[in-house]
Amino acid sequence: MKLRPSLATSALVLLTALCSCSTSGGPGADEKAYDTAQDLYLAKKLPQAEKAARAVAAARAKALGARHADTLRAQLLLAEILQSEKKKCEPLLRELLPLMRQTLGAEDEETLICHRELIEALISSGQHAEAARECRRLLPLQTMALGAESWDALFTRRRLASCLYTLKQLPEAEAEYRRLLPVMSKVDGAESESTLWERHFYANVLQKRGRLSEADKERRLLLALPERVLGAESELRLESGIALAESLLEQNQHAEAEALMRHLLPALSKADGRHSPFTLAFRLELSQAVAGQGRYAEAEEQLRSLISTEARALGPAHPYTLTARCSLARLLNMQGRHTEAEKEYREVLPLCERVHGAAHAKTLRAFQGLAVALADQKKYSEALPYARNALAGWTKLQGRDHPETRACQRLVDQLSAVNRKA
């Protein structure tokens, strides 16, 4: 999720100002040592900064006590420096926060910074449920101390909405975004980058809830913004456009999806690289949009070109290359070229088993596709074991009631019935 950078610079400036009253004799060795640690951090010399900050914290703990305000501020600086080291940063923040609450107060600005940094550490280590709980604890404190429309409170609400989405608590995430967006529009501006990103994330929630038309409407509004607001090659425009194109593809609106994809592809290639995995995956989706309109020869040409590029750029056994080859096999079968499809499936299936594993969804689709290609050649007895293998995998992976499991079950039933008659 796109958010403003951590308050590294602003927090450190605040801490420096507050630490000027350290009891080491006013401006002197202690303050200079603290400034040195800060300067090393801002210069991204993290090992040296960590060593210097630890020395300051240890000296203050010895001179002032472990719970003294200036000692705690030095510890908070150390936590800032350790942000990239999850195993060190999170435990330090957990230990530091209750001490800062006791010494400085729960609504003190530095305590609030510490609380938010703990949330950041929790999110970075994938502990989204606890991060959401801490967001809910922090928000009332920020509201009382700084105001409901303060940047800090809005930052925390954005984090809360993101955590809820990650936790698949979609109704709660939607409600949070609905509360958040009007305030962000008022405070940051309706066309600010931060507000527009949150609208994009809100559209993602709507899509996950199955409300595709509402999600598409949000994305169309974003794409309609002038380039002075949202640059032609901006990350947000590309992400929104790609999400809309994929949604259109999912709804079988192939012509509109193709037009949008062709519009986005040059900017995506420039921004991400012509041979980046993301660009190559988007080219695969473009071929699907073309095939969905019955232009099979054109789609086949695109796929063969894509497979050649992926094999060179990523490797012949890369998951993206294998996905494109399976798409080619499926397309060949759709054109009635069942023998060619069978050959492609037989070549790619062992690679899928080796790369993905026998129980992976992509491997199961390859098993099922091979069964269909064989059945279309009336090789029913040969097709049945592949179909049964796929069915066993789908049942275990998705359950009996999943659409892919039910489709595979119908295939097995049909092949079994034909074999019995034979």
Eight-state DSSP code of residue 19:
G
Token pair 């600086």 is found at 77
Reduced to 3 states, what is the DSSP secondary structure of residue 5? coil
H or E element at residue 75? helix 69-81
pLDDT at 7 over 50: no
pLDDT of 10-42, one tens digit each?
444 444 444 444 444 444 567 889 999 999 999
**Gap between the Cα atoms of 212 and 193, Å rounded:** 23
pLDDT of 263-280, one tens digit each?
999 999 999 999 999 999
Enumerate residues 6+ apart whose C-beta is below 8 A from 421. none
Mean pLDDT of 182-207: 96
Residue 10's pLDDT is what?
44
Average pLDDT over the chain reads 91
Select from 230, 197, 155, 160 the least CA-distant residue to 5: 155
Amino acid at 416: S
Least confident window among 17-21, 75-79, 136-140, 219-223 = 17-21
**pLDDT confidence of 232, banded at 50, 70, 90?**
confident
Select from 347, 368, 345, 364 the least CA-distant residue to 356: 364
Enumerate residues 6+ apart whose C-beta is below 8 A from 44. none
pLDDT of 359-415, one tens digit each?
999 999 999 999 999 999 999 999 999 999 999 999 999 999 999 999 999 999 999
- With contact defined as beta carbons under 8 Å apart, do 245 and 257 qualify? yes
Amino acid at 99: L
Mean pLDDT of 305-313: 96
**Gap between the Cα atoms of 345 and 326, Å rounded:** 7
Residue 18's pLDDT is what?
40
Residue 107's pLDDT is what?
95
DSSP string, 93-129: HHHHHHHHHHHH-TTSHHHHHHHHHHHHHHHHTT-HH
Eight-state DSSP code of residue 1:
-
**Gap between the Cα atoms of 161 and 153, Å rounded:** 12
**Gap between the Cα atoms of 63 and 346, Å rounded:** 74
pLDDT at 238 over 70: yes
**pLDDT confidence of 170, banded at 50, 70, 90?**
very high
DSSP string, 222-254: HHTS-TTTS-TT-HHHHHHHHHHHHHHHHTT-H
pLDDT at 224 over 80: yes
- With contact defined as beta carbons under 8 Å apart, do 368 and 411 qualify? yes
pLDDT of 133-157, one tens digit each?
999 999 999 999 999 999 999 999 9
The string over 126-144, giving b where at least 16 C-beta atoms fall within 10 Å of a residue's C-beta and e elsewhere, is: ebbeebbebbeebbebbbe
Residue 28's pLDDT is what?
56
How much of the chain exceeds pLDDT 70, in percent?
93
**Gap between the Cα atoms of 114 and 306, Å rounded:** 49
**Gap between the Cα atoms of 224 and 207, Å rounded:** 19
Residue 341's pLDDT is what?
97
**Gap between the Cα atoms of 46 and 52, Å rounded:** 10
Enumerate residues 6+ apart whose C-beta is below 8 A from 241. 219, 223, 260, 263, 264
- With contact defined as beta carbons under 8 Å apart, do 12 and 34 qualify? no
Write down the pTM of the prediction: 0.81
Residue 6's pLDDT is what?
43
**Token code pair at residue 388:** 């049964």
The alpha carbon of residue 63 and the mean position of all alpha carbons in its chain are separated, in whole angstroms, by 46
- With contact defined as beta carbons under 8 Å apart, do 134 and 115 qualify? yes
Mean pLDDT of 314-326: 96
Helix count (H) and strand count (E) of the chain?
A: 20, 0
Residue 29's pLDDT is what?
67
Residue of higher predicted confidence among 233 and 331: 331
Mean pLDDT of 348-360: 96
How much of the chain exceeds pLDDT 90, in percent?
87
Token pair 């090393």 is found at 40
Q: CA dihedral in degrees (343, 349, 355, 357; nearest 10)?
A: 180
pLDDT at 245 over 60: yes
**Gap between the Cα atoms of 310 and 231, Å rounded:** 29
**pLDDT confidence of 8, banded at 50, 70, 90?**
very low
